[in-house]
Amino acid sequence: MISVCELLRMVDLEIMASQVTTASTINSLPLLPYYRSASLILVGNLKSLSAALKSSSRMESDSPIEINENSYQVHDFIWHSSSQRSVSSIQSIQSKTSRGHSVKEVSYGELGSKGVRHGSMGAESEAFSASYKEINDDDARLIYINDPEKTNEKFEFAGNSIRTGKYSILTFFPRNLFEQFHRVAYIYFLVIAILNQLPQLAVFGRGASIMPLAFVLLVTAIKDAYEDYRRHRSDKIENGRLAWVLVNEQFRQIRWKDIRVGEIIKVSLNETLPCDMVLLSTSDTTGVAYVQTTNLDGESNLKTRYAKQETQMKNLEDKKISGLIKCEKPNRNIYGFQANMDIDGKHISLGPSNIILRGCELKNTDWAIGVAVYAGRETKAMLNNSGAPSKRSRLETHMNREIIFLSIFLVVLCMIVSVCHGLWLGRHKDELELMQFYRKKDYSETEIEDYSYFGVGMEIFIVFLMSVIVFQIMIPISLYISMELVRVGQAFFMIRDNQMYDEASKSRFQCRALNINEDLGQIKYVFSDKTGTLTENKMEFQCASIGGVDHSRGEDSIEDERTGYPDQGDGHVLQPKMKVKVDQELLNLSKRKHTDEGKYVHDFFIALAACNTIVPLTVETSDPAVKWIDYQGESPDEQALVYAAAAYGFMLIERTSGHIVIDIQGKRQKFNVLGLHEFDSDRKRMSVILGCPDKTVKVFIKGADTSMFSIIDRSLNLNMLKATEAHLHAYSSKGLRTLVVGMRELSSSEFEQWQSSYETASTALMGRASLLRKVANNIEHHLSILGASGIEDKLQQGVPEAIESLRTAGIKVWVLTGDKQETAISIGYSSKLLTNQMTQIVINNNSTECCRKSLQDALAMCKNLTTDSDATSGGSGTGGNQLALIIDGTSLVYVLDTELEQQLFELARRCTVVLCCRVAPLQKAGIVALMKKRTDDMTLAIGDGANDVSMIQMADVGIGISGQEGRQAVMASDFAMGQFRFLVPLLLVHGHWNYQRMSYMILYNFYRNAVFVLVLFWYVLFTSFTLTTAITDWSSVLYSVLYTSVPTIVVGILDKHLSRTSLLKYPQLYGAGQRQESYNGKLFWATMLDTLWQSIAAFFIPLLAYWRSDVDGSSIGDLWTLGAVIMVNVHLAMDVTRWYWITHAAIWGSIIATFICVMVIDLLSFLAGYWAFFHIAKTELFWLCLLGITIGALVPRFVVKVFVERLRPNDIQIVREAEKFRSSRESQIEMNQIFDPSRR
Amino acid sequence: MSSGDGSSYSSSKISKKPRYSRFTQQELPACKPILTPGLVITILISLAIIFIPIGLSSLSASQNVVEVVDRYDDVCVPLKPSNSVEQNDERIGFIQDVKTNKTCIRTFIVPKKMKHPIFVYYQLDNFYQNHRRYVKSRSDHQLWSPKDERNTKLCEPEAVNSDNKPIVPCGLIAWSLFNDTYSFSINNTPLTINKKGIAWTSDRTKKFGPNVYPKNFQTGGLIGGAKLNESIPLSEQEDLIVWMRTAALPSFRKLYGKIETDLEANEKITVVIQNNYNTYSFNGRKKLVISTATWIGGKNDFLGKMYITVGATSLFLAVIFLLLYVIKPRPLGDPTYLSWNRNPTFQY
């Protein structure tokens, strides 16, 4: 680092004269505006957020009021337009202004319910007008610097100890129970258990009736307790970490948990921040601190934070510092902070760039001192510590419908029983008194009265309740638990799938939402982001058009050997970290500075090197003589440009407050950064005003072509302009991302005028952002064009193949991108999304009427096409008449949320491919919502950036790509993975399996519970409807939790009807899920019919076999229990398609376990059924009954299964057969493995 | 977040490649059964092969059982059978009157030779021994241990007598103990009926205590059935033990005793019945059953018929399936049968 004095000396005195008088005024920190690319103009994304963080107070004037809400408001816009929590809407903006600092959180749910206009782009500009407001005292938190006692007088601020654990040992049971009973199913359980405790209703023994609930609660509690234990353990470690805190004017080490708000904390290099603190000073003289926010948002690049100059200058250890910080109440917005600081009589305003958050790591800075403002659970990191949003799977929604049927069925059964009981009582009214088995009267008392008889009406009611208790498992509550377990198991396999492991980013597949695994098997629409999702988001500088000359890399391009222009300044050779291929011709040209062409090239590369927000860092290498320059920046485009500039000999070496150093062809030159207009989505460009070494002042601008061509002076060099335009078109047709670079030299009067208005604007209290924008617009005009750059964003590996597979699988892939139409189309071609056979419909309008017309035309055309093809080729959809719809964001504004939506939907449904370009984040969500609202088809959104968050949350399944752009998308997603192509194994293989497994499991669980209930019901008909059960209480309780539960879970996790190879070979098989083949109403009713038959077989075979014999209730009860359990398990065994040893163990083990349990129950002499099993098992009749039940019950199912498979085989069945009998190579190998004993 | 966030696994925690194992890759060796025509026919035919012989043999076993059933409740009252309410009340009055002579003599001819052991049952119809009020009304603790004499909570309304002394054995089941008696004779020679060993050994040794003696039994206002000899412990009262193992169904038999000698065909058996038990109050029927037993149990054709039906059905299905296979063969795993190959216009 160059010292501040040196720095000052280099500042051009002529310009900065008024400001260099005191050192304290130098706070002209580098403005690091965000500029991502021309093509993502409408997209406020995460990078902009961080850029906003970086941009600090720009100029320090004499005025003590320093205002930096400029950046804050830029942030606001971005926050509202792109962040997941504040999905931008006018409502949210309004509430923002009305509530001052508080962050309005618009949740996903609100988005859906309030009918937010997705098409609205007005919201963005509204955000800019959100004016700066002083923080109300009511809403503020007052922090007295270095005076924690006074700060926290009312004990209202949290200490720094964190507790992510939900429970303590004392509160565990009440709280955990309370939380568990939030589920309706558990309430049902509880009500039944309570009913059973009433003496009149006690059907089951006390213990037996509580057991299912207790079991479920216990399992969940153990799971929760274990998770909580892990959290407690990590909390303890976290709380016990040490930090340096200023105590009695001396820094002492105290534990994190003892840090209080208001205390002054010192953090050293590579240490983690213990709490959110406002920076007071850093080891850097200019007050810069670099932090890494990997823990917070996953971004690994360094971010800059600044200490205020007023506090930076203080020596904190010697002089007791005091002051007051007034800041907003704790909130979740990690990219926003608003505060004022009163220190030494000065009123300073603080922004997001002055605060470092808990969890960040200090980098490249020896130490930083700050005052704790939020501690413990009130830190932004902790407030953001919430899980993924929960969605409910389609299958589960359908399942709930069937559960309602089952409930009705349950009520009907209970009504039958109670009404029959009433009739029976009525018929035997006169006999009840003497009936030996009823004995209505109690004679033991002197006064003879009714014993336990409350009249027919009451008896009916009691019997009704009792029958609910007996038949309770008709509602398969264990199913919910089983489903959770199965999903955990499925997630285990998905996470551990080697084929979904990304070597490049070393990231495994992540399941963030555990309840929509099976939705992956039913996807019909995939909405994909382009940049970073289809492409790698690793930008590579490909070509440039400089001064109207195209410098596309030809065949003669050479690899830059990094010998380019080494810097020998301090004995080291500096090399850029990344290699860039250079064009030899251009390289030569860049060295000829004095030709006209050379001049353009020179300025062009200066613009690339200077007009950005990149921070160069030197990195040691293994070779002591060589140091690498690593360009840290948020935008891959800018990185690519700077690396390119470096390769051509314009190496950005240093960026500090107020100046940058560029090594030009081996010669270091210093440029003063006089001003910087950040990127914003209105202007779609950024500009930097440089004081050049030759004492000229130049403004360099780079931006999107649309915005740049409007401000370029067309009178200057029309031919060059035309040539550049042509080149730009060529570049974007090749799929390159383009940027236009322009420049203008400022006259001194012009500069002074700009400077004064810039100062006024940046110190304005109201509407500063718009003022600054106006200032920028005033200076950004009459540019002379320097050229344009083309950056390639490479397609990710395997993307075309993946898209091909998805399309064969019947999934429609839509690409929603912020890129230009040409770029989008060319990427469409290269990713095989678009083919030459397709008819393209382009909608590109800017009024409602135009949109209406083009939509109508398009619809008419596509109807024509389909009817034509129907007439000619019998509607061969795979033929040449596929349609591709290309629509841009501007048109969508007029379409979404209007009556045209329906037309768009009609049109889009007919198209094989839809490309939406230039769409804003909210429009992405709007498009997803469009399809979701109007079809029942499942939607999946995949993206990697913050701009995809709203779309990811809107879709039924959201997938985040953990790539270059931070973790916002991942945090909002349900699943996260490293590459787009993993979508294929995820959907076609795991999704397919999960769907099929889960569907089968749900149907099977309905069956297994209903069959048992029906067996109980049939018996009730033989007990004068009094709900005696021959099956013991314990068996009826254990039936659903032990006797039959394990196999279904195992099969739900492990069974797969097709191998991975086949599923990938025939993507069409995915259609089974889309058509809901494995779970639908028809299958449900068929299953129920089967259930009815099986229950009849299981009940009546023993009944008739033991009719009029001396069999006792317990013995035949055991027979019924075992018969039902064996039948149910063999039923499952019949449907298992793959027998692993685990499956064998589970199914046969369950049957054996049932036998053991029945024996154990019959060994308890205090139960009625003592020894019954051993008694009845001695007879042959018992075993014949068991065999008879199993076969008799299952023969119909077997026959139907066989005939369906034979006569109307579905695709899955055929491929299964092919897998086994058509000896393909893969299956051969598989077979060999199976029969190779050494590998078992 | 810097602290452990249990809800989500950050990628930094598990950044390494998942270790390969056949389990995690779901590639465990597996058997993949497919219902090929051959397999299906084999299964169906083997079902037939198993089921038909078993069915035939159990049917023949059931046919070999010799069973004599004699309903006596309606003939052993002096009144002619009629359904009028008054007559029924008279019957009830007859059966409730302790003083009347309820002896009733029945004779029947042995239809076939009956080999010993011959089981003598009484059969009650329409008697809900599985009624909820009834099955609960007992105290297993009291039956087993003299200490638990007062453990009669479940026995209401037959828990204590009017002096508030506990009834042993308490409860409706014991109270309603069957009390008809039968004495058999052939040609005026008495036929001994062995009433020992009719109850389950397990019940005698573990449920009914050897030290528990009947107390205050059948002393209440309403007599439900038999009285018990108070000097014999419960474990020896086998009729009670048999009775207290409640039947599964409203129509049931209970073992009365065993005849240990063979009975020849056409022998005339005379039974002297003490018709004490009141089934008239609920339209119950009483039957005396004498039956031999085979491996299949008593006389019951159902199981045999069911097995034969299942076997025959399987055979029939096997034939149908064979025909189907011959008439309409479909090669297994032929990709031309896949829906998208079969029907090229098929669109997703």
Whether B269 is covered by a domain: the verdict is yes
Distances (CA, A) of A1138 to A484, A766, A1133, A1216: 22, 70, 10, 11
Higher pLDDT, A716 or A1103: A1103
Confidence band for A558, pLDDT divided at 50, 70 and 90? low
Confidence band for A823, pLDDT divided at 50, 70 and 90? confident
Confidence band for A444, pLDDT divided at 50, 70 and 90? low
Q: Are residues B237 and B270 in the same domain?
A: yes
Query: What is the SS3 assignment for B244?
Result: helix
Q: Are residues B229 and B322 in the same domain?
A: no
Q: Which element (helix H / strand E) includes B297? A: none
Q: Are residues A1097 and A954 in the same domain?
A: no
Most confident of A497-506, A670-679, A695-704, A891-900: A695-704
pLDDT of residue B20: 81
Please give the average per-residue pLDDT across A720-736, as a whole number: 84
Question: Are A892 and A927 spatial neighbours (Cβ–Cβ below 8 Å)?
Answer: yes
Measured over the CA atoms of residue A1106, residue A1109, residue A1115 and residue A1117, the dihedral's sign is positive
Nearest CA in chain B to A1056: B26
Q: Are residues A1172 and A1051 in the same domain?
A: yes
- Comparing A333-347, A799-813, A1207-1221, the range with the smallest average pLDDT is A333-347
Q: In this structure, which amino acid lies at residue A373?
A: V
Confidence band for A58, pLDDT divided at 50, 70 and 90? very low
Percent with pLDDT over 90 in chain A: 19
Q: Are residues B157 and B267 in the same domain?
A: yes
Question: pLDDT tens for residues B51-72?
Answer: 999 999 999 999 999 999 999 9
Task: Name the pairing type of β-strands A523-529 and A812-816.
Answer: parallel
Question: pLDDT tens for residues A240-268?
Answer: 888 888 887 788 888 888 888 888 888 88
Query: What is the SS3 assignment for A538?
Result: strand
Question: pLDDT tens for residues A1170-1200?
Answer: 999 999 999 999 999 999 999 999 999 999 9
Question: pLDDT tens for residues B16-50?
Answer: 677 788 888 888 888 888 888 899 999 999 999 99
The ipTM of this complex is: 0.93
Confidence band for A300, pLDDT divided at 50, 70 and 90? low
Question: Are B189 and B183 spatial neighbours (Cβ–Cβ below 8 Å)?
Answer: no
pLDDT of residue B9: 39
Question: Are A296 and A357 spatial neighbours (Cβ–Cβ below 8 Å)?
Answer: yes
**Exactly one of A529, A705, A1033, A1090 is catalytic; which is it?**
A529
Whether B163 is covered by a domain: the verdict is yes
Q: Name the residue among B27, B307, B334 with its Cβ closest to that of A1214.
A: B334
CB count within 10 Å of CB A1046 equals: 19
Say whether pLDDT at B119 is over 90.
Answer: yes
Q: Are residues A623 and A769 in the same domain?
A: yes
Question: pLDDT tens for residues A643-676?
Answer: 888 888 888 888 776 788 888 887 888 888 888 8
- Indicate the length of chain A as a whole number: 1240
Q: What is the DSSP string of A359-409?
A: T-EEES-SEEEEEEEE-GGGSHHHHT---PPP---HHHHHHHHHHHHHHHH
| A155 touching chain B per CB within 8 A | no
Q: In this structure, which amino acid lies at residue A98?
A: S
Please give the average per-residue pLDDT across B241-266, as a whole number: 93
For A459-495, give the secondary structure using H, E and C: HHHHHHHHHHHHCHHHCCHHHHHHHHHHHHHHHHHHH
Query: What is the SS3 assignment for A835?
Result: coil
Most confident of A205-209, A374-378, A1235-1239: A374-378
pLDDT of residue A546: 86
Domain extent for A294? 259-385
Residue B176: list chain A partners with CB under 8 A: 436-437
Whether A488 is covered by a domain: the verdict is no
Confidence band for A1084, pLDDT divided at 50, 70 and 90? very high
Distances (CA, A) of B273 to B105, B181, B266: 6, 6, 21
Report d(CA A593, CA A498) in Å as an integer. 54
pLDDT of residue A632: 75
Whether B52 is covered by a domain: the verdict is yes
Q: Are residues B246 and B108 in the same domain?
A: yes
pLDDT of residue A91: 34
Question: pLDDT tens for residues B90-104?
Answer: 888 888 888 888 899
Q: Are residues B54 and B91 in the same domain?
A: no
Q: Among A790, A811, A839, give the residue marking a domain's end.
A: A790
Domain extent for B115? 67-292
Please give the average per-residue pLDDT across A951-958, as a whole number: 88
Dihedral angle over CA of B15, B16, B17, B21, nearest 10: -120
CATH of the domain at A753: 3.40.1110.10
Would you give the distance in Å from CA A1055 to the centre of its chain? 28
Q: Are residues A944 and A1024 in the same domain?
A: no
Say whether pLDDT at A339 is over 50.
Answer: yes
- Comparing A347-351, A435-439, A737-741, the range with the smallest average pLDDT is A347-351
Question: Are A1025 and A419 spatial neighbours (Cβ–Cβ below 8 Å)?
Answer: no
Q: Name the residue among B3, B246, B337 with its Cβ closest to that of A164.
A: B3
Higher pLDDT, A486 or A132: A486
Q: Which residues of A carry a binding-site annotation?
A: 529-531, 638, 679, 702, 737, 817-819, 918, 924, 944, 947-948
Say whether pLDDT at A1114 is over 80.
Answer: yes
Measured over the CA atoms of residue A799, residue A800, residue A803 and residue A809, the dihedral's sign is negative
Q: Are residues B288 and B305 in the same domain?
A: no
> Nearest C-alpha of chain A: how many angstroms from B275?
16
Note the pTM of the prediction, 2 decimals: 0.78
Whether B343 is covered by a domain: the verdict is no
Higher pLDDT, A760 or A1005: A1005
pLDDT of residue A222: 85
Q: Are residues A1189 and A1109 in the same domain?
A: yes
Q: Are residues B61 and B77 in the same domain?
A: no
Q: Are residues A771 and A806 in the same domain?
A: no
Whether A679 is covered by a domain: the verdict is yes
Q: Are residues A1141 and A1098 in the same domain?
A: yes
pLDDT of residue A555: 47
pLDDT of residue A550: 84
Question: Are A939 and A525 spatial neighbours (Cβ–Cβ below 8 Å)?
Answer: yes
Residue A809: list chain B partners with CB under 8 A: 348
pLDDT of residue A1231: 44
Could you say which residues from 45 to 104 on chain B have a Cβ atom under 8 Å away from some Cβ of chain A? Answer: 47, 51, 54, 58, 92
Please give the average per-residue pLDDT across A1043-1056, as a whole number: 92
Q: Are residues B74 and B101 in the same domain?
A: yes
Torsion region of A451: left, alpha or beta (phi above 0 gives left; psi -120 to 50 gives alpha): beta
Dihedral angle over CA of A461, A463, A469, A473, nearest 10: -110
pLDDT of residue A137: 65
Dihedral angle over CA of A47, A51, A54, A59, nearest 10: 180
Q: Among A736, A755, A790, give the residue marking a domain's end.
A: A790
Whether A520 is covered by a domain: the verdict is yes
CB count within 10 Å of CB A956 equals: 24
Query: Residue A691 pairs with which residues in a beta bridge?
Result: A672, A697
Whether B51 is covered by a domain: the verdict is yes
Q: Are residues A1038 and A1177 in the same domain?
A: yes
Please give the average per-residue pLDDT across A68-75, as a whole number: 35
Whether A24 is covered by a domain: the verdict is no
Residue A517 carries which DSSP code? G
Residue B14: list chain A partners with CB under 8 A: 495, 508
Q: In this structure, which amino acid lies at residue A534?
A: L
Higher pLDDT, A113 or A837: A837
Query: B24 and A435 in contact by Cβ < 8 A?
Result: no
Whether B344 is covered by a domain: the verdict is no
Whether A1101 is covered by a domain: the verdict is yes
Query: B34 and A384 in contact by Cβ < 8 A?
Result: no
A603 catalytic residue (yes or no): no
Higher pLDDT, A578 or B323: B323
Phi, psi of A867 (to 5 degrees): -65, -40
Q: Name the residue among A437, A493, A1107 with its Cβ closest to that of B128.
A: A437
Say whether pLDDT at B89 is over 90.
Answer: no
Which residues of chain B form beta strands (DSSP E)? 67-71, 103-109, 118-125, 181-186, 189-191, 252-259, 268-274, 285-291
Q: Are residues A263 and A360 in the same domain?
A: yes
Residue B337: list chain A partners with CB under 8 A: 1209, 1214
Confidence band for A366, pLDDT divided at 50, 70 and 90? confident
Q: Are residues B227 and B128 in the same domain?
A: yes
pLDDT of residue A130: 35
A843: nearest Cα among A776, A917, A912 = A917
Residue A807 carries which DSSP code? H
Mean pLDDT of chain A: 77
| B223 touching chain A per CB within 8 A | no
Say whether pLDDT at A17 is over 50.
Answer: no
Q: Name the residue among A436, A1108, A1195 with its Cβ closest to that of B253.
A: A1108
Q: Name the residue among A359, A809, A1180 with its Cβ closest to that of B1.
A: A359
For A982-998, give the secondary structure using H, E and C: HHHHHHHHHHHHHHHHH
Question: pLDDT tens for residues A564-616?
Answer: 455 555 566 777 777 777 777 777 777 777 777 788 888 888 888 888 878 78
Q: Are residues B250 and B321 in the same domain?
A: no
Say whether pLDDT at A1 is over 50.
Answer: no
- Indicate the length of chain B as a whole number: 348
Say whether pLDDT at A81 is over 60.
Answer: no
- Comparing A153-167, A717-731, B282-296, the range with the smallest average pLDDT is A153-167
pLDDT of residue A105: 35
* Test mutation, B121, B127, B132, B161, chain A, max A CBs within 10 A: B132
Query: Residue A975 pairs with which residues in a beta bridge?
Result: A511, A959
Could you say which residues from 782 to 811 on chain A have a Cβ atom under 8 Å away from some Cβ of chain B? Answer: 809-810
Residue A66 carries which DSSP code? B
pLDDT of residue A1112: 92
* Test mutation, A382, A390, A1108, chain B, max B CBs within 10 A: A1108
pLDDT of residue A1097: 95
Query: What is the SS3 assignment for B133?
Result: helix
| B225 touching chain A per CB within 8 A | yes
**Which residues, 6+ apart, have CB-to-CB distance to A379 below 8 Å?**
A275, A276, A330, A357, A358, A359
Nearest CA in chain A to B252: A1108
Query: What is the SS3 assignment for A1169?
Result: coil
Q: Are residues A859 and A906 in the same domain?
A: yes
pLDDT of residue B10: 39
Burial label, A981 (beta-carbon count in 10 A; 0-12, 13-18, 19+):
buried
Report d(CA B45, CA B313) in Å as an integer. 10
Report d(CA A783, CA B99) in Å as an integer. 130
Query: What is the SS3 assignment for B72?
Result: coil
Burial A434-449 (b: 16+ CB within 10 A, else e): bbbbbbbbbbbeeeee
Dihedral angle over CA of A677, A682, A685, A687, nearest 10: -20
Most confident of A31-40, A526-535, A767-776, B82-91: A526-535
- Comparing A285-289, A526-530, A1136-1140, B224-228, the range with the smallest average pLDDT is A285-289
Higher pLDDT, B162 or B195: B195
Q: In this structure, which amino acid lies at residue A256?
A: W
Give the number of domains in chain A. 4
Q: Are residues A782 and A755 in the same domain?
A: yes
| A1209 touching chain B per CB within 8 A | yes
Q: Are residues A517 and A583 in the same domain?
A: no
Give the number of domains in chain B. 2
- Comparing A659-668, A771-780, A867-876, the range with the smallest average pLDDT is A867-876
Whether B82 is covered by a domain: the verdict is yes
Question: Are B173 and B246 spatial neighbours (Cβ–Cβ below 8 Å)?
Answer: yes
Cβ-Cβ contacts under 8 Å between A and B: the total is 359
Q: Are residues B93 and B60 in the same domain?
A: no
Whether B189 is covered by a domain: the verdict is yes
Confidence band for B105, pLDDT divided at 50, 70 and 90? very high
Task: Name the pairing type of β-strands A938-943 and A957-961.
Answer: parallel
Q: Are residues B102 and B120 in the same domain?
A: yes
Query: A1112 and B339 in contact by Cβ < 8 A?
Result: no
pLDDT of residue A1223: 55
Q: Among A735, A766, A790, give the residue marking a domain's end.
A: A790
Whether A65 is covered by a domain: the verdict is no
Say whether pLDDT at A947 is over 80.
Answer: no
